[in-house]
Structure 1
Amino acid sequence: MTKSQELFKRAVNRIPGGVNSPVRAYGAIGETPRFIQGAVGSSIFDVDGQKYLDYICSWGPMILGHNHPVIRDAVVRACENGLSFGCATEREVEMAEFICERIPHVEMIRMVNSGTEAVMSAIRVARGFTGKSKIIKFAGCYHGHSDALLVSAGSGVMTSGVPDSAGVPKGCTQDTMIAVYNDLESVKQLLEESNDEVAAVIVEPVGANMGVVPPKDGFLEGLRTLCDEHKALLIFDEVITGFRLKFGGAAEYFGVTPDLVTYGKIIGAGMPVGAYGGRKEIMEMVSPAGPVYQAGTLSGNPVAMAAGLAQLKLLWEDQDVYTRIYRKGEYLFEGIQKILKENEVPYQVNYTASLGCIFFTSEKVTDYTSAKTADTKAFAEYFKYMLNHGVHLAPSQFEAMFLSDAHTQEELDLTLELVEQYFKTW
């Protein structure tokens, strides 16, 4: 028995399912989770001493690679002053100024502790600002596990086969309306049916929790127009895409301006951080400036702020990083597509910049319904092959591969060689 197996055996006795987040579970692919001891650059190392080329990157935050020395040093220095004060700190102000001065659509921002908290708070602010109650989300888009949004969610919910969640009262979701991703007509219909009682439309600008599903041309622009026409706010959930597609996130990448945006992942450089922000007139609704209550004892934690600010400064000062990882994404995902075509494998490759995935289906994937046609058993066999050959992927058909600036050309070529070897025997 490996040490990972031993740890998992212990974990299932004290932790539900043996993991602290369902996306870490390997049950869907019939394996035991690898327990990770350390990481550097593009590689992670498990407790059994195995090295893996990592395409999870802590689910996105490690855009510069694991254990970046500048970020690590910033954390160590911050720790020397204490881990938490429960009081205001200068670094919180620096973080807010740094973001707001560089992202035009974020005039004010509030730090929180997770993406779930950021989205939950942004929804509350949207309702408070508009005086309306209904929300439109998209099937397959995941916005955290708050009650009102755990409806037709993607990611771990898809993998486990649970369509929504037990423990969520019907009353919590009665104002949540479900549209079809990449289908503007479905949004228009819901807006009209609601008699203009929709406070906000929330969307992952690039769907990344039902696998990777890019927006069709005109989709995000169409949402902006519909929201303006119906006096609803447009919320971009950029927990994954924020500071990854470009410094200004998907909003800059696609040239569409949201009213509110939620962040996570990269702004904490691996520390547990989230944030939501937007126009000043909307954000001034938040307590103590306004009547919309939201609080967090550990929000703006000084160590987390030190890590996140260090990473954002590195990204701002070297924005060629976005060109580099875009080219890596194009090379890797186009390379996989070419291998599938040459071997007459009818699967699909979807990607946007440094996010991508293979869908084990012959159907073009543009939304939640088409994503669900993927053969999860076929994915499981592929996953196990790659893992056994030292490549660490997300243990779910419905998650993204993340590239970092630390991935080298040689590592991309090695990955493509393994993909080709696998599908040659398909």
Structure 2
Amino acid sequence: MTLELMPGGVNSPVRAFKSVGGQPIVFDSVKGSRMWDVDGNEYIDYVGSWGPAIIGHADDTVNAALIETLKKGTSFGAPCVLENVLAEMVISAVPSIEMVRFVNSGTEACMGALRLVRAFTGREKILKFEGCYHGHADSFLVKAGSGVATLGLPDSPGVPKGATSETLTAPYNDVEAVKKLFEENKGQIAAVFLEPVVGNAGFIPPQPGFLNALRDLTKQDGALLVFDEVMTGFRLAYGGAQEYFGITPDVSTLGKIIGGGLPVGAYGGRKDIMEMVAPAGPMYQAGTLSGNPLAMTAGIHTLKRLMEPGTYDYLDKITGDLVRGVLDAGAKTGHEMCGGHIRGMFGFFFTAGPVHNFGDAKKSDTAKFGRFYRGMLEEGVYLAPSQFEAGFTSLAHTSQDIEKTVEAAAKVLRQI
């Protein structure tokens, strides 16, 4: 029935289970670390609505605040006090952000940031990394041609060549490839965009010195450094990956957690850059639902919870226990696996590794991952339905959840 109503029966492609086989699960409700499908089956959830549910699904405090806000209206299309409250929280938390603009999705945030860096620098080229996802705007839907790091070929029909002709790509963690591109395009690159920890090619952390090198190279050339922290923001640390690694970019994009499960995004950066944005400056960007009171409320109360002492230590412990448990089970059952975590973000691949970029990630045995995935579903564990997506834990996950998941993984790994 849904196939007749929506393309592929879904509103976002990875939900269709194409890469893992079987039929997608239709969910009915969520609470804490759990999800229930329409047939009443219960699952331990490691997707967390793809990241936002860091304090747990349907948090009572967030929901109570949303109900009170709802009584006042869902959207004003005009300034509201709550925008200022969340803006102050974001600015005080994220090292690079002196001014912020709220939008309605991570894609929108990256689109705004892209236009901003081009407006500020007067340059048009951007450099992104293979396997990094920055939303579905035309300029970002590019991957490197095999062995040709500079080949800006559109990744989707409907994307004109002109939209991607100014997009350069390099393998993640490859400083020499970035240096070469800067030498070949001296004074022409507006910005380097990257996920400081890759989450859209699976979990791939930066190698020591990689982020520092990008910071140095952009400064030397007069280009800007943009961290896409839609996934890592408020997850790796309260101040995001930039706090965790001690590298301050010029511009950052945010989403997911800052909306507490409601549609939201944001981009921000140095004041002199952000003052290019209308109405302070000439770069136009707008949005009817931007800064709406519901999303602001959910974000405020989610961040308040994350400010409590011990939050990130707890995420680090349970996620570390999970990853070590699964990898240990893999080793004992003779599977080639590798993986890792930072705080509440994790991933593993069915390859001996190491995995430093998307090329390495593609060596993973995706057919085996599909079998593992379906087996874990049978055991009541819901993972991201793709080998090339990071996983997420929450403050609602218990040590019992982790133990049960590791036991399920051991069982499934023995079977496959």
TM over 0.5: yes
- Deviation of the 1:422 alpha carbon: 1.9
1:178-215 Cα offsets, whole Å, 9 max, x none, are 01100111111111111220000000000000010010
Residues of 1 paired with 2:208 and 2:93: CA distance?
26
The alignment partner of 1:29 has SS state of coil
Q: Which residue of structure 1 lines up, in the alignment, with residue 237 of structure 2?
A: 246
Q: Does 1:290 align with 2:281?
A: yes
Matched with 1:346 is 336
Number of the residue aligned with 2:184: 193
Tell me which amino acid in the other structure corresponds to 1:210: A
Residue-by-residue CA offset, 1:154-200 (whole Å, 9 max, x unaligned): xxxxxxxx981110000000000001100111111111111220000
1:340-374 CA distance string (max 9 Å, x none): 22233212123222211221123321101111111
Kindly indicate whether the alpha-carbon contact (under 8 Å) linking 2:20 and 2:370 is maintained by their aligned counterparts in 1: yes
1:112 aligns with 2:99: no
Q: Does the alignment pair 1:23 with 2:17?
A: no
Counterparts of residues 99-248 of structure 1 (less than 5 Å): 99-152=90-143, 164-248=155-239
**Aligned counterparts of 1:163 and 1:279: Cα–Cα separation in 2:** 31
CA distance in 2, matches of 1:128, 1:319: 40
CA contact (8 A) 2:125 2:168 kept: yes
Kindly indicate whether the alpha-carbon contact (under 8 Å) linking 2:95 and 2:248 is maintained by their aligned counterparts in 1.
Answer: no
Give 1:368's aligned residue. 358
Residues in 2 aligned to 1:149 and 1:173: alpha-carbon distance in whole angstroms: 7
The answer to whether the Cα contact below 8 Å between 1:112 and 1:275 also exists between their aligned partners in 2 is yes
Structure 2 length as normaliser, TM-score? 0.96
Q: Which moved more, 1:132-141 or 1:306-315?
A: 306-315
Secondary structure at the aligned position of 1:39 is classed as strand
Q: Deviations over 1:368-413 (max 9, x none)?
A: 1111111211111100000011000111111111100111101101
1:257 matches 2:248: yes
Q: CA RMSD in A?
A: 1.3
- Aligned partner of 1:279 in structure 2 is 270
**1:382 aligned residue:** 372
Gaps of 5+ in 1: 1-9, 154-161
Structure 2: gaps spanning 5 or more residues: 145-152
User: Which shifted more, 102-111 or 178-187?
Assistant: 102-111
Distance 1:324 1:352 in 2: 12
- TM-score (ref. length: structure 1): 0.94
Equivalent runs, 1:389-404 vs 2, <5 Å = 389-404=379-394
Task: Pick the aligned partner of 2:291 from 300, 304, 307.
Answer: 300
Matches of 2:298 and 2:206, distance apart in 1: 31
1:358 aligns with 2:348: yes
1:257-292 residue CA offsets vs partner (Å, 9 max, x unmatched): 010000000000000000000100000000000011
* Aligned residue number for residue 43 of structure 1: 34
What amino acid sits opposite 1:121 in the alignment? G
Distance 2:255 2:219 in 1: 26
Letter in 2 for 1:15: M
**SS in structure 2 of the partner of residue 129 of structure 1:** helix
Find the residue that maps to 1:27 and give its secondary structure: coil
In the TM superposition, what is the alpha-carbon distance from 1:105 to its structure 2 partner? Answer: 1.9
**Separation in 1 of the partners of 2:95 and 2:374?**
44
Of residues 79, 83, 90, the one that matches 2:74 is 83
Q: What does residue 5 of structure 1 align with?
A: none
Instruction: Assess if the C-alpha contact under 8 Å between 1:100 and 1:106 holds in 2.
Output: yes
Any idea what SS the aligned residue of 1:234 has?
A: strand
Q: Secondary structure at the match of 1:101?
A: helix
Query: 1:141: how far off?
Result: 0.2
Aligned residue identity for 2:391: M
The one-letter amino acid of 1:262's match is T
Tell me the equivalent position of 2:302. 311
Letter in 2 for 1:423: L
Which amino acid is the alignment partner of residue 285 of structure 2? Q
| 1:217-267 per-position Cα deviation (integer Å, ceiling 9, x unaligned) | 111111101111111100000000000000000000011001000000000
Superposition deviation, residue 72 in structure 1: 0.5
- Determine if contact 1:336/1:349 at 8 Å carries over to the other structure: no
2:58 partner SS: coil
- Asked if structure 1 preserves the Cα contact closer than 8 Å seen for 2:31 and 2:58, the reply is yes
Secondary structure at the residue paired with 2:117?
A: helix
Deviation at 1:319, TM superposition (A): 3.8
Between the aligned partners of 1:171 and 1:397, the Cα distance in structure 2 is: 31
Whole-Å separation in 1 of the counterparts to 2:346 and 2:142 = 24
Aligned residue identity for 2:135 = G
Q: What is the DSSP-based 3-state SS (H/G/I as helix, E as strand, rest coil) of the residue aligned with 1:37?
A: strand
* Matched-pair identity in %: 49
Does the Cα contact within 8 Å between 1:239 and 1:263 map onto a contact in 2?
A: yes
The answer to whether the Cα contact below 8 Å between 2:129 and 2:194 also exists between their aligned partners in 1 is yes
| Displacement of 1:327 | 0.9
Deviates more, 1:179-188 or 1:361-370: 361-370
Equivalenced residues, count = 408
Deviation at 1:139, TM superposition (A): 0.2
Partner in structure 1 of residue 260 of structure 2: 269
Question: Structure 1: which amino acid aligns with 2:317?
Answer: R
Give distance in 2, aligned partners of 1:41 and 1:163: 40
